Structure 1
């Protein structure tokens, strides 16, 4: 099976790159310029691949395209079961779904999305900031006694680390949340995360220079 990840540097698609590296899997990576909505290498209109022009999108054998971050992450985890990136049944599987839903809706879309959106109004940004206390209190309580989101490193941690990586740009201060800060720092030291983040940070800098010129 040939897998091709359409990604933008440091966007939520970073979580899938982390999952691939954690699994030791082989995949193709096609960069998308989210400003022009075109593939960087070919100039092809990204709308031809994903109508919503959002990453990640996962090409499968050159024919099928899978979209939506949590769906892509779970598909990758299922394709490489030896990596144990996702529990397959029982309460742990339900907990994984719970965490993916929480990260996607309560953090990614409710907080970081508006704070990173240059077109969002001041009122929208203030509303997003009002969500930080309750959401991060939940994270703090959990990571005060847990090393990972669930029993072991999983796609949940890949996604959560990706979202927390936006904190500085979004103006979300992690210092009041020492357990969350400690969790994030530990994840950054994980080889799969360090590799993926380092590669995409370099691509992000190149993209900024290209857009500036």
Structure 2
């Protein structure tokens, strides 16, 4: 498999999950400014939307969209318990969390990277993001992970999104549960491996 990624972008969650699976993979770095690969190939030929992640399977098929990719990967190694079994209520709870992270947190915080946003617009985004965290944080004071006591692909995604907070000037100190959660996830060997492979750790 090949993972098309950009260091620290949302593709990091897929990279973390790949490390958790212990499946064999190759990394292909994408320049999101030029939409090109290191060999100058046009990334739009891989993903017509021009964003990461994209996963190329051994048969040449391309899978897009992070939440779909990480569930696919989890299902390749069910013994790792990175996602509940398909068709169970718990699987739909996972999808609930992935949708929350994708639509409310990822897009909410990711928008702050847009240099065209005025300070007033940024405040609107930060306030909306804060309200979502006000609901999410108490759950993580009661449970170790988003689905309870078992690490799942949703945790890799949430960790990735929350890791952007310092880059956009958003302070998590109001939610000590989330600070503790981030620190715990960061210590996982899979996370350390992914961060090192992306050049984000010495």
TM-score (norm 1): 0.89
Deviations 1:26-46 (A, max 9, x none): 111100010111002x11010
Structure 2 residue 6 is the aligned partner of structure 1 residue 5: no
The counterpart of 1:157, out of the listed 155, 162, 167, is: 155
Aligned-residue CA RMSD in angstroms?
A: 1.6
The counterpart of 1:106, out of the listed 101, 104, 107, is: 104
1:155-194 pair list within 5 angstroms: 155-194=153-192
Offset of residue 134 of structure 1: 1.3
Give yes or no for contact 2:104–2:129 (8 Å, CA) kept in 1. Answer: no
Structure 1 gap segments, 5+ residues each? 206-213
Offset of residue 114 of structure 1: 1.3
Deviations 1:62-105 (A, max 9, x none): 52111111111111111121211100132211110110000001
Deviations 1:112-144 (A, max 9, x none): 121112233434322211213311111211111
CA distance in 2, matches of 1:122, 1:57: 33
Give yes or no for contact 1:8–1:34 (8 Å, CA) kept in 2. Answer: yes
CA distance in 2, matches of 1:77, 1:140: 25
Give yes or no for contact 1:114–1:124 (8 Å, CA) kept in 2. Answer: no
The counterpart of 1:134, out of the listed 131, 135, 138, is: 131
Structure 2 gap segments, 5+ residues each? none
Residue of structure 2 equivalent to 1:46: 43
CA distance in 2, matches of 1:135, 1:65: 32
Give yes or no for contact 1:16–1:73 (8 Å, CA) kept in 2. Answer: yes
Q: What is the aligned length?
A: 200
The alpha-carbon distance between structure 1 residues 185 and 128, as it changes in their structure 2 partners (threshold 3 A), is same
Structure 2 residue 87 is the aligned partner of structure 1 residue 87: no
1:11 partner SS: coil
CA distance in 1, matches of 2:172, 2:196: 21
TM-score (norm 2): 0.94
